[in-house]
Amino acid sequence: MLHNEDYTRIINYASRAPSSHNTQPWRFRLSHDIIRIIPDLSRSLPVVDPDNRALFISLGCALENLVIAASRFGYSSKGCYAEHDAGIRVGLQRSVETKGDELFHYLKSRQVTRNLYRPEELPTDQTETLRRITPEPGTELQIYSREEGVKRFLPLVTEAGILQFRNQQFVEELVLWSRYSRREAMQTGDGIWSATLGIPSAGRWVGSLIMKHLVTPASEEKRLSKQVVHSGGFALLLAEKDNREHWIRTGRLYQRFGLTSTGMGIRHAHLNMPVEEPVTRKKLAAVAGTVGSIPMLLLRFGYAERMPYSLRRNLHEIIE
Ligand SMILES: Cc1cc2nc3c(=O)[nH]c(=O)nc-3n(C[C@H](O)[C@H](O)[C@H](O)COP(=O)(O)O)c2cc1C
């Protein structure tokens, strides 16, 4: 039987996982020695993520954190799988043989860092370590050098970014999940807090006005180009199938990438626009030269200063 105090600690670490727009689309349910991660579909993003792909990738990230934290507290986890209705089921068992996962040390310091990185290639031993991260079955991690990645991804990132900022509904959804001051971010404990983007507090009224009228497809193209060029390398995560199970597995792989790179002092952030737009997603698959694999996440990585951390909701809001 899972100890109550351990349960709370494990869920606390699981909730540190990344999620699209920091929606934290999860709830956790305990029964005996089983934890269920339940998708909270009221937190979905119908415009940018109509199929809930990113939502289930986020649940996969939470699952990976959960398994890593559980191992640290002496539990082995078994039979993690996607159930049809009840989300992800994780059976936990106390085990003296369980060795804590090294990645546990980075659960709290990991972040998605949205500033500009040093525009220089990473040493080969570092990129080789990233390449050796073990993927989940049916998923793949491709690591690209700076030079190769800029050439392949820059045109697609800007093309997709322009498409998104021409779409009023996309901007409105982004405004809805943006938090324009510390106070607002602390009140909700979710969403994209402006400080994590390096933008000063503006308040909701001014902030949303800027987003709706001053951020244009052209300004976005410029901003994205700068981010791509100021990178040390790129990671593309792919999966064999575009279904819930593979989305969850992709999330686990992404989280291992995020934690491993954090441990090496490497920052990362998303360049997901070409995955999110159907037209550019096809082109991205062609650019990656994959046969049958589907792009799931595109990331940039490199060296940079840490940014303010995004916030999380209180545990009582996510534990059933
Ligand atoms: C599936 C997925 C998709 C994401 N897409 C983007 C994205 O397109 N742009 C972005 O800046 N961040 C993206 N993020 C990062 C989240 O916004 C970030 O995880 C969240 O704000 C919490 O911050 P943290 O990861 O630093 O704790 C994504 C995260 C996940 C898990």
- For strand 34-39 and strand 26-31, is the pairing parallel, antiparallel, or unpaired? antiparallel
Nearest CA to ligand 1 atom 10: 270
**Length of the chain (residues):** 320
DSSP label of 213? I
Q: Is 208 in the pocket of ligand 1 (CB under 6 A)?
A: no
Q: What is the mean pLDDT of the chain?
A: 94
- Does the pTM surpass 0.75? The reply is yes
Any ligand 1 atom below 6 A from CB of 192: yes
Pocket test for ligand 1, best of 12, 20, 43, 196 (most atoms within 8 A of CB): 20
Rounded to an integer, the average pLDDT of 144-171 is 96
Ligand 1 pocket test, pick from 272, 277, 299, 300 with the greatest ligand atom count within 8 Å of Cβ, gives 272
For the 4-110+309-318 domain, the top CATH level (class) is alpha beta
- What are the tens digits of pLDDT across the range 269-294? 999 999 999 999 999 999 988 778 99
The total of other beta-carbon atoms located within 10 Å of residue 220's CB is 18
Which distant-in-sequence residues (6+ apart) come within 8 Å of 218 by Cβ?
Answer: 162
Q: What is the pLDDT of residues 75-91, one digit of tens each?
A: 999 867 766 767 899 99
Q: Look up residue 192 and give its two tokens.
A: 């994209």
**How much is the average pLDDT of 6-30?**
96
Q: Report domain extents, the chain.
A: 4-110+309-318
CA dist 234 → 231, 245, 299 (Å): 8, 25, 6
**Å from CA of 10 to ligand 1 middle:** 21
312 Cβ inside 6 Å of ligand 1? no
Query: Which distant-in-sequence residues (6+ apart) come within 8 Å of 87 by Cβ?
Result: 36, 37, 38, 39, 59
Q: Is the CB of 143 under 6 A from ligand 1?
A: no
DSSP 53: H
Cα-to-centroid distance, 31 and ligand 1 (Å): 30
